[in-house]
Structure 1
């Protein structure tokens, strides 16, 4: 066992089984180091017999249960490192009697309850890390009573109330993480000799103004105050932070201009001010931050032009986001940002020729939608137009460049080739000459066409009356389908819904399809429903929407042919397959983003917009790569308020319908956003929208909200699928889960006007992934 007179160290040996209680007989033991093994079971109470123990390291094992009270009564304890386990219970008041305690690290467990208020009074505590647990109540005061506290990490809990004043007065404190709690009140005054070098208070409800005393933290390198309720101006004293590298003030209610003093933060490499109300012009002095790699000013009220001095921001390499402001003018100042990876200029009033940006060879993502750009897009950007066509919307005067001598270019996402208009003019001119010379022949042709049209219309009317097919795809393919499915025998059914039955048709090893049969008791209404579905599905083309392969329409039923999705529906993967498959976070995130992108296309890229009206896991199909595809557009309706502001029937599924549509027939994109939020909650919890485990016949939205503590704070492991909790033990990715949960709650807001658009959802999901990767 490696036992000696002073210490016992068994580390990194992959030992399993319980901790032997006999260790308690080693009365002279001062250090017990059993870290990073595979030990399980409970911590034996016999360890309390080690009355000379100073170091207890049991971290990164599989221990469970509570820490015995006997352990907390060992008077000589200095270091207790028991993080990365599955321990639970509460901290007893006896912990306040450990006068020699310096380091207590219990993160990534399942501890709950309040932290005893007297913890800092008797000890000389230097590090306290209780993050990623379920602690609640207020942060105890006097943690810095001994003036030795250096690291205070309480992130990802349910702490409430204000930040204790003594934290701001703790000159020894250099690392402070209180993020992802439910803290409120103002940020305490910070001493002039503050030693803080890292402060993360994000994802709370901290309010008031950012205190000028923040400028006292002259050694600080990172400040993250994002997702709070800070208001007012950014203090001028921000310029005192000459060592600052990361400043994130996003998602607050800050206003006023950006102070020019920020240019004194010469070491700044990441600046995020997004989602505030900061106004005025973009300071030209930002160009003096020559080390800036990441600049986000999105969703503010910046006006005026892009400063010409931006040509000096040569280090911008990760992200430049100026979207959703009131910026005008040209983009010439950005033409030399040769190392930039992501550029978002969407939602402004920029007007310029995009060819100026053609030399930005490092771009991997670009969004210039909803501006006034004109002329050809750079040749190197055509790949972005093909992969993300929505990123170019709202610029009616852009076109695809054509090389000299090319016969034509291919239109991509309604962006026409630049030479098309000229060619059309040339053709029209020649046609006029021809028409003048053979006008009599054209007249005869026109008469013939009119007569032919009338004859065809009469035949179609007769066909409808006689019950023959209205339209048909390939009869050969239809015969094959009928043959391989034994005339649509029930044994080939792979799904049933309110709008039809789905069959699997395997024509060959590489031609496997899903066949949807729709029927209707009212024959006159059938063709209308079928035509609506065919027209809707046939028009759209997006990687996250099911693709129509072929169709056949008759007066009493219809068949629609789709590509077969190997992994079935999201409902099956989440709830039905036995045993349930493991769903890693990257897969869940991929599914969440894909669904959002499909809905974004329907809502924002289709004209008129399309409301699905029945978004749910059963209508999300997963291909071999687990890429999601939204299906079932039979109930989709086109928004056209000038013709029909309301549908004629309530459509949707209980548990997924938004509050405003549960008893009404109103149709809106906001109702789809609500349904999407419910699907997000199912992805995170692996519970059904209306699950029998919910008390009082509530739905998943009510259940999640009932588990919130104090409004915005929440405990992840009460809500999130236990499989995700196990996957992320000790990793950063849990922050992504928390942010997606927050986004789901925004989508399922009771008031439709409080929900984000699907375009905003996609942006937040993509920004989230990028933001987390930068922090790593």
Structure 2
């Protein structure tokens, strides 16, 4: 194929010298054949392309001018083609439209493509093209009107020459890796109607001059790292219909000139740093249908003018600092279908218009709304999502709520609701998620709940429910999560629970349930979390599948349970001894003869002998078990010692011991140094050398022969560790991580039953100890805390750039060296497990409670770097406040994020900073850092910034006057 391509290229070079009769048609035929030669076509879609044809007009995907027979359009979208976009297309001098989108073309962009004199439309979106966009690609673009390079891997800056492409009407460079600032030349494209630069890595401010795009209808800069205020001239683009600047770091207030955008139907400014109040002129945007101001710093009350937005369909104000009541004027928004006021400081009661607007989605969680719930008796065919959680609603759950036939998501958790669960709840035929947790609900779980036939998640934890688990629950065949913990339930687990073949999570902890556990629980195919701790269950645990790896904490607090997990042996069942009566063979023996003194005495002797036999047998069995156990331990100890002693080294990038036999271990040091331990390998197993224990194993301190201390982590998840090949691949990847704020992984040791990780030893102890266990007279200064926050952020940004997710960020995994520099430890260890099952993971890092992102609880959501961002946000608040992420009171659980948000919204900044600092901190640094921490702990992953953005923001927050005599620097 390559030789054929070269031959065709040679023919193309000769075309100008060929006879004119072969010219026009052969140019297009040969050009397309050369293009085909560079293409891999798995579906044979280009099978009709034959070099022997006189013209290509009948070919698949080709359109020609009916008069000249020259090719005017090449449309080959979505055909799974791959290869290069070759130079053969340059022969198509009459080409007006080129569409190769949604394939897998690779390579770089040919700058000569735009030289084609008639070309007006290029769509190369959703391929695998890479490299930079050549400057001459735009400088010679001729009559080009529409260009889409979206969904590729282009990098570098947007060429300044883009301003030369004056005929462009549509430009889409979204979902690439473009960096740098926005070139001012963009604003020279005064024919432009649509501009999409979303999901790149663009930085800096939006330059002035956008008002020169007087034809602009749509602009999207979503998902970049742009900062600074919105320019006043944006409001002069009077034809704008859609604006999306979300997921950046834009700040300031909304410029008043935006009131002139009377044609704007979509305004999306979510996940930025905008502040101040919503201006009253918002009501002048009469064409507005979609308004999203979520996850910013907006405050104050809602303007009454918002009720003038008669065409408004979706409004999202969540994640701000709005106060006052829900705007009554929104009853005038007759087109409204979705409202989200979540996570603000809104007070008062639910206005009547909420249930009279035929809304599809109502979300007001995380506010200060109060009063009883009043649901009018009307038809709610449209309402599918109702989230009133985390407020102060009181009274009974209204029975009318069961008449909302189309409801799919109902969350009334974390309120002060009382009474029993209404039986009408079974009328919610379409509800998939029902959450009534953390209220004061009493009574029993109504069996009518089985009427909710679509139910997937049932959350009733932290109430005062009594009675048993209704057997009818087994008819909810789609159930994946059953959370009934922290109630007063009694009785046993109903056998019908075994009918829930889709169940993944069962939490019955902190109740008064009793009885034995059905052994068939281990047959549930998708079960991945099962918590029955602190009940009255007895008997042995099920065995097999999930129950082979169940964490002990999930079954603790049940004194009657036995099995290996709880480290209590189950009593053996011995057969009753057979007692033979020598007189029983006489058929004439009378019934009374058996009760004679002689026979009774004889029977006692026989029973005593049989009892002695049983006791002796039991003793022998016990002695045998003990003997075998001791021998096994001795063999294992000898094997481990031999394995440790068998370590030898070789030169190279890393040193390792050759695998001598099945019992020997493999030691790898990434630096090539001699790793011999000065006190012998057994020192790492010495209890006296233990530094601490975490979710993945115990850590020991030992010395190398050169006197250098190292920390050895002995993994206690051996049964879950990958194969040796996969384990070594992951560990070697971690061994390449080198950053000033990371604890360096120096090497590892492998046997099938023992895995050790060798780290640099960090002498200053953990951040947890410095925050929570040091003397109140010697707390960390503000400067030290800020440096720890910044250092941790830099380490996470470094890990994320190398596609490593930490998964287990917490203050005990942030160590301080002798100079106070932060060193992040335990990164990437979850990848050593055979699969990233979030329930297994959460059971291994339960000490990270409070740091774990909410998506860990939803198995359908992908775990990403944004989980680390959430944990980092919690860590920031912990460092600033000096308080633990979660505090357990006698009758309550206090979540740090909620406390800080409430204090900040109430203007009580001093409550958000560790009192041990005695006011020695700069508020101009502390307040932005706290706000950044709250933004990082957003419930929505996409609303959290990337760690690289966090680093930039922290560097901007740090006050420039860092003098040594400042009181907070001491």
Same fold (TM over 0.5): yes
Q: Counterparts in 2 of 1:759-770, with a 5 A limit? A: 768=940
Distance 2:357 2:302 in 1: 17
2:721 to 543, 566, 587: 566
Q: Does 1:20 align with 2:116?
A: no
Equivalent in the alignment of 2:412: 322
Q: 1:144 to 1:327 in 2, by over 3 A?
A: same
Q: Which is greater in Rg? A: 2
Alpha-carbon spacing, 1:747–1:282, altered in 2? closer, same or farther (3 Å): farther
Secondary structure in structure 2 of the residue aligned to 1:375: coil
| Conserved 8 A contact 1:321-1:345 | yes
Question: Deviation digits for residues 627-660 of structure 1, max 9, x if unmatched?
Answer: xxxx99xxxxxxxxxxxxxxxxx99943565634
Alpha-carbon spacing, 1:226–1:402, altered in 2? closer, same or farther (3 Å):
closer
Aligned to 2:766: 654
Which residue of structure 2 lines up, in the alignment, with residue 248 of structure 1? 340
Counterpart CA distance in 2 for 1:324 and 1:506 is 56
Corresponding residue for residue 438 of structure 1? none
Match of 1:744 among 857, 869, 872: 872
Tell me, yes or no, if the aligned pair for 1:516 and 1:560 is still in contact at 8 Å.
no
Q: Does the CA-based 8 Å contact 2:436-2:459 persist in structure 1?
A: yes
Distance 1:222 1:484 in 2: 67
Give, in whole Å, the separation in 2 of the partners of 1:362 and 1:770.
28
Aligned to 1:413: 533
**In the aligned structure 2, how far is the partner of 1:680 from the partner of 1:381?**
44
Cα distance in 1 for residues equivalent to 2:269 and 2:862: 15
Structure 2 residue matching 1:564: 3-state secondary structure: helix
2:686 equivalent among 508, 516, 519: 519
- Which whole-Å deviations, capped at 9, do the CAs of 1:93-138 have from their partners, x for residues lacking one? 3333322121111112222111122202452110101111111111
Is 1:474–2:626 an aligned residue pair?
Answer: no
Distance in 1, matches of 2:628 and 2:338, equals: 59
Equivalent residue in structure 2 for 1:60, among 127, 147, 151: 151
Q: Residue 149 of structure 1 is aligned with which of 237, 240, 256?
A: 240
Greater Cα offset, 228-237 or 51-60: 51-60
- Report 1:198-213 matches (<5 A): 198-213=290-305
2-structure distance, mates of 1:575, 1:653: 27
Residues 130-164 of structure 1, C-alpha deviations (whole Å, 9 max, x = no match):
11111111122232424211111111111111123
Contact preservation (8 Å) 1:144, 1:167: yes
Q: Quote how far apart the aligned CAs of 1:389 are.
A: 11
SS of aligned partner of 1:84 = coil
Cα deviation 1:499-533 (Å, max 9, x = unaligned): xxxxxx999xxxxxxx99753459xxx9xx99xx9
Give the TM-score normalised by structure 2: 0.51
C-alpha displacement of 1:175:
1.7
Structure 1 position 329, deviation (Å): 0.7
- State whether residues 124 and 148 of structure 2, in contact with CA within 8 Å, keep that contact through their aligned partners in structure 1: yes
Q: Which residue of 2 aligns with 1:9?
A: 98
RMSD, aligned CA: 5.1
Q: What is the CA deviation profile of residues 651-684 of structure 1, one whole-angstrom value per residue up to 9, with x for unaligned ones?
A: 9943565634466799xxxx9xx9xx99998975
Q: Per the alignment, do residues 213 and 739 of structure 1 end up closer, same or farther by CA in structure 2, a change over 3 Å counting?
A: farther
CA contact (8 A) 1:575 1:687 kept: no
Distance in structure 1 (CA, Å) of the matches to 2:377 and 2:867: 29
- 5+ residue gaps, structure 2, are 1-88, 497-513, 518-531, 539-559, 561-625, 649-660, 664-681, 699-713, 738-742, 749-755, 779-784, 807-812, 826-859, 899-935, 945-970
The correspondence for 2:219, drawn from 125, 128, 139, is 128
- Corresponding residue for residue 44 of structure 1: 134
Match among 115, 119, 125 for residue 35 of structure 1 = 125
Q: Contact between 2:458 and 2:481, CA under 8 Å: does it hold in 1?
A: no
- Report the counterpart of residue 76 of structure 1 in structure 2: 167
Q: Give the length in aligned residue pairs.
A: 569
Which residue in the other structure is 1:714 paired with?
none
Alignment partner, residue 198 of structure 2: 107
1:482-631 to structure 2, matched below 5 A, reads 482-486=637-641, 489-490=644-645, 518-520=685-687, 564-567=719-722, 576-578=731-733
Cα distance in 1 for partners of 2:169, 2:433 equals 48
Q: Which one of the candidate residues 219, 229, 232 is aligned to 2:324?
A: 232
Of stretches 122-131 and 53-62 in structure 1, the one that deviates more from structure 2 is: 53-62
Q: Whole-Å Cα distance in 1 between the matches of residues 438 and 296 of structure 2?
A: 29
* Pair 1:50–1:692, CA change in 2 (3 A): farther
Query: Structure 1 residue 61: deviation in Å?
Result: 2.5
SS in 1 for 2:636: helix
Q: CA deviation at 1:233?
A: 0.7
- What TM-score do you get using the length of structure 1 for normalisation? 0.62
Q: Show the counterpart of 2:357.
A: 265
Aligned position for 2:391: 300
Q: Indicate the residue corresponding to 2:58 in structure 1.
A: none
Quick check: 1:139 aligned with 2:213? no
Q: Is the 8 A contact 1:178 1:200 kept in 2?
A: yes
TM-superposed deviation, 1:43: 1.9
Q: Equivalents in 1 of 2:379, 2:697: separation in Å? A: 49
Matches within 5 A, 1:331-342: 331-332=421-422, 333-342=424-433
1: CA distance between counterparts of 2:627 and 2:416?
A: 51
Contact 2:443 2:466 in 1 (8 A): yes
- Establish whether residue 355 from structure 1 lines up as the match of residue 446 from structure 2: yes
Distance 1:25 1:75 in 2: 15
Q: What secondary structure sits across from 1:284 in the alignment?
A: coil
Shift of 1:221: 2.5
Mapped contact 1:324–1:348 kept (Cα < 8 A)? yes
Residues in 2 aligned to 1:381 and 1:506: alpha-carbon distance in whole angstroms: 51
The offset of 1:250, in angstroms, is 0.9
Contact kept in structure 1, 2:197 and 2:222, CA below 8 Å: yes
Q: How does 1:433-472 map to 2 (within 5 A)?
A: none
Whole-angstrom distance in 1 between the partners of 2:117 and 2:380: 60
User: In structure 1, what is the equivalent of residue 401 of structure 2?
Assistant: 310
